A and B are shown apart, each in its own frame.
Chain A
Amino acid sequence: MGTLKSLEKDQTNLIKALQLEQEENEYISDESIKKIANYFDLPLVEVEGVVSFYAQFKRVKPGKHKISVCDGTACHIKGSPLVLNWVTDELGIKDGETDEKGLFSLETVACLGCCSLAPVMSVDGKVFGKLDRKSLLKILKKYKQGEVEIDD
């Protein structure tokens, strides 16, 4: 709520408020929508409508590591559907899903803007380019192992 107060109570700040909320909680919960609607004095449906319109906003809590497979034109041409399949085969999650342990979530994004390195994906915002199956599995393994160490 602290961050919300830094914003002027004007609807032009609604998207910013949602972005801040998501930054803090990783997704937009029902409570968040109520809180924000209350703050801007807007009907719930108005806020819900804005949330559902924009691809950035998540209504489900994502995993610890967020994998975004780029499916922009250059990546698609260079085989991003295969990249997506490899991730699915390895982690057992499809586009938009989070695994049972809450370790990884997977989504496709339109373009990360690194087309010259296609195909690319990002994990927690870090971009990996020129992927093939081998390099991809190596990257996933690294994140999995990192998690094991933390757990132990």
Chain B
Amino acid sequence: MIKRIKVGMASCGLAAGAGEVMDYLKENIDDIELVETGCIGHCYAEPIVEVETDEGSIYYEDVKASEEFLNKILNTEDSSQLEFREERSSKEFVKVTKFAGRLDPVSMDEYLENEGYKPLEKALSMTPEEVVEEVKTSGLRGRGGGGFPTGLKWSFLAAKESEEKILVCNADEGDPGAFMDRSMMESVPHQVMEGMLIAAYATGATQIFIYIRAEYPLAVKNLGIAIEQLKEKGFNDFGDRVIEIKIKEGAGAFVCGEETAMIHSLEGGRGTPRFRPPYPTDSGFKGYPTLINNVETFSNVPVVLREGGEKYAEVGTENSKGTKLFALAGDVKYAGLVEVPMGITIGEIIYDIGGAEKGSIKAVQIGGPSGGCIPEKHFDTPVDYDSLTSLGAIMGSGGLIAISNDRCMVETARYFLDFTTRESCGKCTFCRIGTKRMLEILERITAGEGTLNDIEVLEDLGPKIIDGALCGLGKTAPNPVLSTLRYFKDEYLAHVEEKKCPALQCNNLVNVHLDQDKCIQCTLCIKNCPVNAISDDFVVDNDTCTRCNTCMEVCPVGAIGRVERGETNG
């Protein structure tokens, strides 16, 4: 007996076609309740449909808007079911994301039925000091990247006397390759809001701002609905004060993830950082004491209150407690959102959870443009704040990208520098000009025009930018370059000395070759080449070819591939 049918309609699901699936189900089903839910983290299998029956839930993957799937769903057939792989479920530790994708994101009732707002109720029965102590006991550290102890930060704001105290939720998830915060806000907005309300009570805050990327329209919408619902219930009314809650949409600037830059942006100005001290908890938004925590940190707070600080601290390593969300993507089979206990190794995430083939991945990039790469030989490193820092990477916000052997590390470093150069606000000379010079050098090297001196300049310039920059953006911008130089210097040297790209990725250093023995002369490549670089007798003119890969994609027998430049011409 089918009770309800749920369709995962977070951004990942919608991009895979969940909207069409939902429309189709609506047209064809009228006696069963259809529910829109968020993301359960198995993004590789989207669109996902969950069928709730008396005997539990059945999940269907890769669902299409078709009669075939409609029948499968209505008859709860065995095929096309999403497999919850043992390798993944045994490594995961799902508690912060427990409700993500399981509940209707915009149903207050469903959240309440699942013990929602009980942690807030518990907090309100304690004194604010006791709540701060509870969070201190839990060992929770900021999940946005810095890893500052959350309870300690709260105690700074709590200690301030001021007519207004401001609490800001950093939802400006700017790291390209990270989507943990988006998923939480879209899937369980009430949990994020509850964390903020508990923090507001504990710190004596009077106003809450949510600074969110404008690129996340669904998260903005769902949070807005959640705020209206909780106001209706009076959850923002603490008796002595009513908390004002406002959503502020950012306008696309990575640097605004930095506290002081975010405050300037909230005030309506250019989002440039400023020198600290004074710290925001002393003087922040319009001069009022201000505390900034990120979405994932707030999402952890109801969990801390629900199970108690001591129990929370049982999971994790000595200095990193609890679980961490990672947005796992790149060259893995099962990309998605994963929640793992602190202390799990990188290898376990990539191989067991991600399903990557052993030996196929040469590095992971952790922490996005501010982080660094970690090579395969260090995949047994436990994931905690301190171990990652010692390897030249950072925990960061949780972007975790697997890089296969076919990718060029110099090009990867160039990509990140291109990003930070564009996002540098321009205030500090070392960041503004230093990143630009580094980028120019990396462009030279990937184009095959680099010299050994270029590599020396990179090694010299990196630490100087770190020393000379004011904020987190500049202080971390050289990390991708320095960490690839540390672990993959051979790739840099191959580009410079031999003019070769070992991964065959850098366009200037490769030729395209058509293997006449494999070729079946179907002429698909000739027809599809946008620049007519393939002759009638199937030879590639590498002077005309733009290395767009089209021919390789259309070739049915894999006869065309990239080779080292000079190896052959055609």
**Shortest distance in angstroms between A58's beta carbon and chain B's nearest beta carbon?**
11
Encoded as 1 (CB less than 8 Å from any B CB) or 0, chain A from 1 to 22 comes to 0000000001111111011000
Interface size grouping (class) on chain A? 35 or more
* B548 in contact with A110 (CB, 8 Å): no
Residues in B neighbouring A116, C-beta threshold 8 A: 12, 43-44, 46, 328-329, 335-336
Residues in B neighbouring A127, C-beta threshold 8 A: 11, 14-15
**Which A residue's beta carbon lies closest to that of B44?**
A116
Partner of A109, one of B215, B365, B368, B401: B215
**Which B residue's beta carbon lies closest to that of A86?**
B548
Partner of B330, one of A12, A77, A117: A77
* B335 in contact with A110 (CB, 8 Å): no
* A53 in contact with B253 (CB, 8 Å): yes
The answer to whether the Cβ of B267 comes within 8 Å of any Cβ in the partner chain is yes
Residues in B neighbouring A140, C-beta threshold 8 A: none
Give the CA-CA distance A81 to B565 in the complex, in Å.
20
Encoded as 1 (CB less than 8 Å from any A CB) or 0, chain B from 237 to 266 comes to 000000000001111111000000000011
The answer to whether the Cβ of B201 comes within 8 Å of any Cβ in the partner chain is no
Say whether, besides A15-B265, A110-B419, A115 and B251 are in contact (CB < 8 Å).
no
* B548 in contact with A50 (CB, 8 Å): no
The answer to whether the Cβ of B134 comes within 8 Å of any Cβ in the partner chain is no
Give the CA-CA distance A72 to B175 in the complex, in Å.
8
Interface residues in B1-55 by Cβ distance below 8 A to A read 11-12, 14-16, 43-44, 46
Say whether, besides A15-B268, A129-B16, A114 and B11 are in contact (CB < 8 Å).
yes
Say whether, besides A54-B252, A112-B215, A71 and B268 are in contact (CB < 8 Å).
no
**Shortest distance in angstroms between B561's beta carbon and chain A's nearest beta carbon?**
15
Give the CA-CA distance A118 to B43 in the complex, in Å.
11
Residues in A neighbouring B267, C-beta threshold 8 A: 11-12
Say whether, besides A71-B176, A110-B254, A117 and B15 are in contact (CB < 8 Å).
yes
The answer to whether the Cβ of A132 comes within 8 Å of any Cβ in the partner chain is yes
Encoded as 1 (CB less than 8 Å from any A CB) or 0, chain B from 524 to 554 comes to 0000101000000000000000101110011
**Which B residue's beta carbon lies closest to that of A54?**
B251
The answer to whether the Cβ of A43 comes within 8 Å of any Cβ in the partner chain is no
* B182 in contact with A113 (CB, 8 Å): yes
Partner of A12, one of B174, B214, B266: B266
The answer to whether the Cβ of B379 comes within 8 Å of any Cβ in the partner chain is no
**Shortest distance in angstroms between A54's beta carbon and chain B's nearest beta carbon?**
4
Specify the main secondary structure of chain A where it touches its partner.
helix
Partner of B407, one of A46, A57, A72, A77: A77
Give the CA-CA distance A118 to B369 in the complex, in Å.
18
The answer to whether the Cβ of B359 comes within 8 Å of any Cβ in the partner chain is no
* B46 in contact with A11 (CB, 8 Å): no
Encoded as 1 (CB less than 8 Å from any A CB) or 0, chain B from 331 to 372 comes to 100011000000000000000000000000000010011000
* B329 in contact with A11 (CB, 8 Å): no
**Shortest distance in angstroms between A19's beta carbon and chain B's nearest beta carbon?**
6
The answer to whether the Cβ of A27 comes within 8 Å of any Cβ in the partner chain is no
**Shortest distance in angstroms between A136's beta carbon and chain B's nearest beta carbon?**
11
Interface size grouping (class) on chain B? 35 or more
**Which A residue's beta carbon lies closest to that of B43?**
A116
Residues in B neighbouring A133, C-beta threshold 8 A: 528, 549-550, 553-554
* A74 in contact with B401 (CB, 8 Å): yes
**Which A residue's beta carbon lies closest to that of B371?**
A73
Give the CA-CA distance A116 to B549 in the complex, in Å.
22
Give the CA-CA distance A102 to B12 in the complex, in Å.
30
Residues in B neighbouring A82, C-beta threshold 8 A: 548-549
Residues in A neighbouring B548, C-beta threshold 8 A: 82, 85-86, 89
Say whether, besides A56-B252, A112-B215, A11 and B368 are in contact (CB < 8 Å).
no
Encoded as 1 (CB less than 8 Å from any B CB) or 0, chain A from 31 to 68 comes to 00000000000000010011001111100000000000
**Shortest distance in angstroms between A79's beta carbon and chain B's nearest beta carbon?**
8
Say whether, besides A12-B266, A77-B330, A77-B331, A113 and B252 are in contact (CB < 8 Å).
no
Partner of B415, one of A46, A54, A73, A134: A73
The answer to whether the Cβ of A120 comes within 8 Å of any Cβ in the partner chain is yes
Give the CA-CA distance A117 to B41 in the complex, in Å.
13
* B268 in contact with A114 (CB, 8 Å): no
Give the CA-CA distance A134 to B175 in the complex, in Å.
29
Give the CA-CA distance A72 to B402 in the complex, in Å.
14
* B270 in contact with A112 (CB, 8 Å): no
* A115 in contact with B252 (CB, 8 Å): no
The answer to whether the Cβ of A94 comes within 8 Å of any Cβ in the partner chain is no
Give the CA-CA distance A109 to B550 in the complex, in Å.
23
Residues in B neighbouring A128, C-beta threshold 8 A: 15
Give the CA-CA distance A125 to B11 in the complex, in Å.
11
5 A-B pairs (CB sep. < 8 Å): A56-B252, A72-B177, A73-B369, A73-B399, A114-B15
* B residues neighboring A (CB under 8 Å): 11-12, 14-16, 43-44, 46, 173-179, 182, 214-217, 248-254, 265-271, 327-331, 335-336, 365, 368-369, 399, 401, 403, 407, 412, 415-416, 419, 425, 528, 530, 546, 548-550, 553-554
* A residues neighboring B (CB under 8 Å): 10-16, 18-19, 46, 49-50, 53-57, 71-79, 82, 85-86, 89, 109-118, 120, 125, 127-129, 132-134
